[in-house]
Structure 1
Amino acid sequence: MRQRWDRQTILDAAVELLSHSDGDETFSMRRLAAELGTDSSSLYRHFHNRTELMLAVVDHVLVQAMAGYRREGPWRARLVDLILRSWDAYAALPQLAKDTSHYPGSGPGTQLVIEETLQALTDAGLPEEIVPEWYHRLVTLSVSLISAHAAARTSSTSDRQRRLESFRVITLGADPAEFPALAHYARRLEPTGYTRESFLATLDVVLDAVPARP
């Protein structure tokens, strides 16, 4: 008799599969079903299509990322904690993170992240009418950089090497007469970095601009 998998088991298996996928593999209902030793029809009992599954996976990941979170401390520290929890969760799942802008989540994990972000901005003393605006700014920044980080990680080694070589050509080969600043700093420049540290530094710049109450 064919085993029927419950929703939680399917989501756990999806996360496990995504964590071991590389840039040449495409996550699909068929691959997930094969991983579970069943066929796609078992998955369609719980998820109507791949999009519905991915939305649930995102929320599942966010629930796990928010484990142990407490609404304690200054508003800024809470925002940094919230956003870095998402960064760290997606860093372990670059195949999922690459498409995160397409799958905002669809359950309690997503609700909790949104709620705590809005609460932190409210506690910062922002006027009520601009809290949503700042929420969207933070989400746009986070999703963009998380997706870019994932895209870079899931590209092939040869693709990364070609991009690096191309960058070296245009920087180290710059004509000092035409591009004096570029020529001056060329040997100290690196291609765009998407490290956790650079992400945090960018986040700090944005948080410095939040019109918080003194």
Structure 2
Amino acid sequence: MAKGRKRARGERAGLSRARVLDAALALADRDGLAALSMRRLGAELGVEAMTLYHYVPNKDALLDGLVERVFEQAAPLTADGGRWRAALEEYAASLRQTLLRHPGVLPLAMSRPALPPQTLDAVEHGLRMLRDAGFPLGRALDVLNSLTVFAVGHTAVEAATARADEQGAPGSAAYLAQLDTGRFPLLAEAGRGGHGTDDAARFRHAIRALLAGFDAAPR
């Protein structure tokens, strides 16, 4: 730092945009998204709430940043065109795992597009990979959008189902196991045997089927 230059409060606290977003993510993970406020986040970081506005200009920017941070943790789309299916499968699996680690961000991921330059860089790499594999630009963008929307939506339902399973709510395996076997023999059998309850296996199968369909569809 140049001699005589006075540091801002954020610099004195050792803050950066990444540190602010990571602290917000940790707070949302621990206490829920409803607990996240600029005042609460400032307290977590040991600064006044006003200090945070140097890094995120408002609450909406903070929420957008959380989605951005989560998507940044997914596997990069940098493979060559010959490995596009493997790369997209890895990306989808990584996105699912990241969202499951941060379930508080799931509602945001479904409603707030993360389109900062860093995220757009990832999309650009994915489009280049698919173009190299022979996909027209429009179809390549369809593939990326469809895969991401499916991954986010499946993970959101998966997280909700996990809560239902814990409570024995309708739709849970425990609930299905108690159904009338005369009227619902297959559903009851699925509940008792735990059939179709492996979320990771179901997700993997669906992603592979989706990618196979993209590969076989006319381009």
Under a length normalisation based on structure 2, what TM-score does the superposition of the two structures give?
0.74
- For residues 95 and 61 of structure 1, what CA distance do their matches in structure 2 show? 11
Q: Residues 60-79 of structure 1: matches in 2 within 5 Å?
A: 60-66=69-75, 70-72=78-80, 73-79=82-88
Q: Count residues in correspondence.
A: 207
Supply the RMSD in Å over aligned alpha carbons.
3.4
Match of 1:181 among 179, 186, 193: 186
Letter in 2 for 1:92: R
Determine the C-alpha separation between the residues in 1 that align with 2:18 and 2:175: 50
Deviations 1:13-37 (A, max 9, x none): 2233334x15596322222111011
Give the 3 Å change call, closer, same or farther, for CA 150–48 of structure 1 in structure 2. farther
| Secondary structure at the counterpart of residue 163 of structure 1 | coil
* 1:95-117 deviation digits (Å, cap 9, x = unpaired): 12343112321313311332233
Cα distance change of structure 1 residues 183 and 90 upon mapping to structure 2, 3 Å threshold = closer
Specify the alignment match of 2:205 in structure 1: 201
Would the aligned equivalents of 1:56 and 1:106 in 2 still touch at CA under 8 Å?
no
Write the mapping of 1:22-101 to structure 2, written as runs, cut at 5 A.
22-23=31-32, 26-66=35-75, 70-72=78-80, 73-101=82-110
Q: Distance in 1 between matches of 2:55 and 2:193?
A: 52
Residues 197/22 of structure 1: CA separation in 2 closer, same or farther (3 Å cut):
farther
The one-letter amino acid paired with 1:18 is: A
Instruction: Give yes or no for contact 1:167–1:191 (8 Å, CA) kept in 2.
Output: no
Name which structure has the greater RCO, CA cutoff 8 Å, separation 6+: 1
Contact 2:64 2:114 in 1 (8 A): yes
Alpha-carbon distance change, 168 to 83 in structure 1, aligned in 2, over 3 angstroms: closer
Please tell me the residue identity of whatever aligns with 2:202.
Answer: S
Name the CA distance, whole Å, in 1 between partners of 2:179 and 2:216: 45
User: Partners in 2 of 1:38 and 1:79 — Cα distance?
Assistant: 41
1:12 maps to amino acid: D
What is the CA-CA distance between 1:203 and the residue it aligns to?
0.8
**Structure 1 stretch displaced more, 144-153 or 104-113:** 144-153
Q: Is the 8 A contact 1:47 1:53 kept in 2?
A: yes
Aligned residue type for 2:88: L
CA–CA distance in 1 between the matches of 2:50 and 2:143? Answer: 42
Partners of 2:25 and 2:112 in 1: CA distance: 14
**Residue 135 of structure 1: CA displacement?**
2.7
What does residue 169 of structure 2 align with? 163
Contact 2:74-2:95 at 8 Å conserved across structures:
yes
1:71 and 1:78 in contact (8 A); partners too: yes
Partner residue of 2:16? 6
* Residue 214 of structure 2 corresponds to residue 210 of structure 1: yes
Amino acid at match of 2:180: A
Q: Is the 8 A contact 1:94 1:150 kept in 2?
A: yes
User: For residues 81 and 165 of structure 1, what CA distance do their matches in structure 2 show?
Assistant: 29
Pair 79,103 (structure 1): closer, same or farther in 2 beyond 3 Å? same
- Range with greater deviation from structure 2 (80-89 or 33-42): 80-89
Unpaired runs of 5+ residues, structure 1, are none
- What's 2:178 paired with? 172
Give, as a single letter, the amino acid of the residue that structure 2 aligns with 1:42: T
